[in-house]
Structures are given as structure tokens and as C-alpha cells.
Amino acid sequence: MDKLARQLKADAELIEAQVSDELDRRITASLQAVTPDRPRGLRVRQRPAAFWWASSLTGVAAALVLIVIFNSLSRPAGVESPQVAEVSPVPLVMAPTIDWKTESAMLTQPLQQELDDLQSDLKKAEEKVKQDIGL
Amino acid sequence: MLRFLLTRCASYADAEDALQDTLIAAYRYLHSYDSRWRFSTWLYRIAIRNAQKIRSHNVVEFGDLSDEESDPLLHCIALSETENLWLIARRVLNDDVFSATWLRYAEDMSISDISKALDRSDSWTKVNLLRARKALDTEMNRKNDGSEAYG
């Protein structure tokens, strides 16, 4: 503390001020007559962020439990859930089927023989058609 | 606090009234006290406002009646060889700077507490405390030079 600060402190203490008995009584009486003001409006206590997280999680958990219970109660007893086929869920593109109206050849002889027979049958049919149309 | 109010008020009775009002206001509005402040800082803030209120009320009602006869500070200062520095301070400093100087050197308050009590910034308090010291030094030197010259 420097000289000026010391002198300021000392000079402040030289100021003689004393609370008189009369002032003391006055202040005491005033304080007894006054009631402290209450804060305006009740302050809502700030809740920590963890409280809101915990309440949100509790809400979500309760909702999940309700969904599970509701589903298990609404399913008829003894009905098994359908088996899911192990196929690709992607629908296959189906090619249009053509109805050939043919009969499968009864292959009873060697292939070359069969081919010859078929060709002669085809030739006979061709000639018959030509005759029918007058060629 | 009564000492401080004696330096700020026009009469002893005004200083007593200001003290009474300060204590009543503090008790009434205790709920608004912020515990981050020192209690004395909060009390001084109320006291400074009350002193200003009483002084401005007196000026409006009766005009400026401050004179040496009713000056409580003159009556309450013990006799000493040199002029009390607070009388010089009151003469050369404005109200807020005087209050800042009192809180710093008579009450040993920190800069930040003084700033809160006066509702000023820390830099304002620092700068004005330095200026107050300079002004007091200058005034004291002038007085000393004058008395030496006179003697």
C-alpha cells in the first residue's frame, strides 16, 4: 500500500460516525414492520438435460412394450405365422407362353430313321396340299 | 456505511435516512440478492442509489442547500493538522469517481466489486481510480507548495 492509499484509509477512519441508539431503534422498528417481498411468480426449477433424456427413453420403451402386448393379444390362438418362402422377393419377369399344339414324337427308332420318316411325311403333306389347292 | 453516506449526503439526518432506507430495501428485496456478489457490494449499490435519490429529492424540493454549516462530513471529521483527504476528494472528484475511490481505499473492495456496485465497466473503474489518484496528488502538491510559499 502506497502513501496515498494509507492516508486515504487513515482519513476515512477519522470520520466519526456512530449509529445512535435512536437510529438503531428506528431501523429495528422499520425492519419489523416490513415483510420481505416474495419473488414474482413461482420459478419453475430448471431440470437437468439428463432428466429429459431419461423421460424420453422411458416413453419410447413404454410405447414398444404396449405395441408388443397389443400384437400378442390380437393374434388368434393356434395360428402360426406363415412360413416365408425362401425365394427372391424380386418378381421374375415371366416370358409369354406359346401354345404349340404339337404332340411329342414317339421316338421308337434310331434318330436318322426317324428324321427320314418325318421328312417323307412332310413331303407327302406338301404334295397333298398342292393337290388340294390345284397346283 | 454511515461514514460513506455522510460523504454523500447534505446532512447527518439525510445520511441516517439513507442508511435506514438501504437496510429496509436490502431486507425487502433479499430474494433478488445474487450470491455471486459480495453482500457488502450489493449493500453499497443500494446505498449509493439511496443517497443519490435523497440528494436529488432535496434539490427538487428545496434547491441546492448544501453549505458548510450543515455539511456532515465537516462536523464528523476529527481535528487534524492537515486537511482530510476525503474533503479534497469530494471537491475535486465527481460523484461516481469519489464513490469508486472510497470503495477502493476505505473499504478495500476489488475493482470488479466496485464496478458492480457502481454499475460500470472494470476498465472505467481502473481508469478513473488512476485519474482520481492523479487529481489528489496534484491537489496535495499544490497545497503543499502553497503552504511552503506562504510559510
Which one has a higher pLDDT value, A72 or B23? B23
pTM over 0.80: no
**B20 vs A9, A26, A36: nearest CB:** A26
Distance in angstroms (rounded) separating the CA atoms of residues B75 and B77: 6
Residues found in chain B: 151
Distance in angstroms (rounded) separating the CA atoms of residues B107 and B105: 6
Q: Is B151's pLDDT higher than 50?
A: no
Is the CB of residue B2 less than 8 Å away from at least one CB of chain A? yes
Tell me, what's the pLDDT at A94?
65
Question: Under a CB-based contact definition with an 8 Å cutoff, are residues B31 and A39 in contact?
Answer: yes
Tell me, what's the pLDDT at A44?
57
**Is A117 strand, coil or helix?**
helix
CA dihedral for B5, B6, B11, B17, sign (positive or negative): positive
- Nearest 5°: the CA angle A108, A109, A114 is 105
Q: Which residue of A has its CA nearest to B21?
A: A27
CA dihedral for B85, B87, B91, B93, sign (positive or negative): positive
A46/chain B closest Cα distance in angstroms: 17
**Is A64 strand, coil or helix?**
helix
List pLDDT tens digits, range A41-97.
Answer: 555 567 778 888 899 999 999 999 999 998 888 766 665 655 655 555 555 566 667
Is A8 in contact with B85 (Cβ distance < 8 A)? Answer: yes
- Disruptive mutation site among B3, B17, B80, B88 for chain A (greatest number of A CBs within 10 Å): B3
Question: Under a CB-based contact definition with an 8 Å cutoff, are residues B44 and B116 in contact?
Answer: no
Is B73 in contact with A15 (Cβ distance < 8 A)? Answer: yes
Q: Which three cell numbers stand for residue A83?
A: 412360413
**Is A35 strand, coil or helix?**
coil
- Residues of A whose CB is below 8 A from B29: 36-37
Q: Is A133's pLDDT higher than 80?
A: yes
User: ipTM score of the complex?
Assistant: 0.79
List pLDDT tens digits, range A2-57.
Answer: 888 898 888 888 888 888 888 889 889 888 888 877 766 555 567 778 888 899 99
Strand partners, B77: A15
Is the CB of residue B84 less than 8 Å away from at least one CB of chain A? yes
Is the CB of residue A26 less than 8 Å away from at least one CB of chain B? yes
Provide the percentage of residues in chain B whose pLDDT is more than 90. 32
Distance in angstroms (rounded) separating the CA atoms of residues B99 and B5: 10
Is B106 in contact with A27 (Cβ distance < 8 A)? Answer: no
B67 Rama sector, left if φ>0, alpha if ψ -120 to 50, beta otherwise: beta
Q: Which residue of A has its CA nearest to B5?
A: A17
Is A7 in contact with B85 (Cβ distance < 8 A)? Answer: yes
Question: Under a CB-based contact definition with an 8 Å cutoff, are residues B77 and B84 in contact?
Answer: yes
List pLDDT tens digits, range B34-76.
Answer: 888 889 999 999 999 888 888 877 766 655 555 556 677 776 6
Q: How confident is the model at residue B11 (pLDDT cuts 50, 70, 90)?
A: confident
Q: How confident is the model at residue B142 (pLDDT cuts 50, 70, 90)?
A: confident
Tell me, what's the pLDDT at A87?
57
List pLDDT tens digits, range B99-127.
Answer: 999 999 998 999 999 999 898 999 999 99
Q: Which residue of A has its CA nearest to B2?
A: A17
For chain B, domains (ranges, CATH) are 1-76 (no CATH), 81-151 (1.10.10.10)
Question: Under a CB-based contact definition with an 8 Å cutoff, are residues A35 and B95 in contact?
Answer: no
CA dihedral A21, A26, A32, A34 (to 10 degrees): -150
List pLDDT tens digits, range B67-76.
Answer: 556 677 776 6
